[in-house]
Structure 1
């Protein structure tokens, strides 16, 4: 499942769950700052989604979808501590696309693959309005952080670097 299938899967999940959400069409864009400007909201209200490779030990590798506010970065040290891992780094593009079922810039804060565990920063689920690209570069979605948490069932842990001052 990739591209349009991931989008359809997301919309079906939202519709079946009867959550309030809104779709926003815009120029194709996958960079957080630029798409936030197109959608007209601060980057702190966006969900930035990064696929990470977590080497727990020499034989065990896990994949984690880290979801942080759009104005923050993933704190790799916090993720490493969370999993008591030897190493944490960004996943290669091919693995990230396969697990996220989306191309870079369109990765959802949801996982539709059992090999990809979602970990969201508490500031993501606390957002009254949470914006993210909807598995497409030209369409975004907004829903409440509480509804996101209820549907995505992320592990909620502090994994974002401090906000820039």
Structure 2
């Protein structure tokens, strides 16, 4: 699928992002497994399809971090699938005035994937990855591979080595 331009930004297809991920894994010789399943983007539902607890999934959310009036950063927060992102912890981490979820268009442009398929990796210099320590500590880490119908399994240690995320406590218990 060809790239196209959109408002001056290079837009990437999910296929390009998937191919880039696979290329990274293969060139790094990281032990991983691809899992095909019915198309699903919800962490809980896709975890059930893959046959593992949601705690072994990487939930990936693009956040808008307003540091001050003129400075906005974008952060890819990666937390265990059975938890939620602690926005106050992220705000404190960046000494920011405001932290919230990015709008869908911005998230899709920066993550180079549609919602429900966002990787715990960033292929955009404008998107900083922050992962909770419980993510990289997982012996098995599952996430959608930039596609709704295919997931990836690798170790948290290999994920940390490849993605090089900033490791910070950003997960909170899921709200009931």
TM bucket normalised to smaller: over 0.9
Provide TM-score, normalisation by structure 1: 0.98
For structure 2, the 5+ residue unaligned runs are 1-11
Query: Residue 8 of structure 1 aligns with which residue?
Result: 19
Which residue is 1:76 aligned to? 87
* Residue of structure 2 in register with 1:24 after alignment: 35
Q: Deviations over 1:83-127 (max 9, x none)?
A: 000000000000000000000000000000000000000000000
Q: Which residue of 2 aligns with 1:93?
A: 104
Shift of 1:163: 5.5
Equivalent position of 1:102 in the other structure? 113
Where does the alignment leave 5 or more consecutive residues of structure 1 unmatched? none
Q: What's the TM-score, normalizing by structure 2? A: 0.92
Cα RMSD (Å): 1.0
Of 114, 117, 137, the match for 1:126: 137
Structure-2 residue corresponding to 1:65: 76
Which structure shows the higher strand fraction?
2
SS in 1 for 2:64: strand
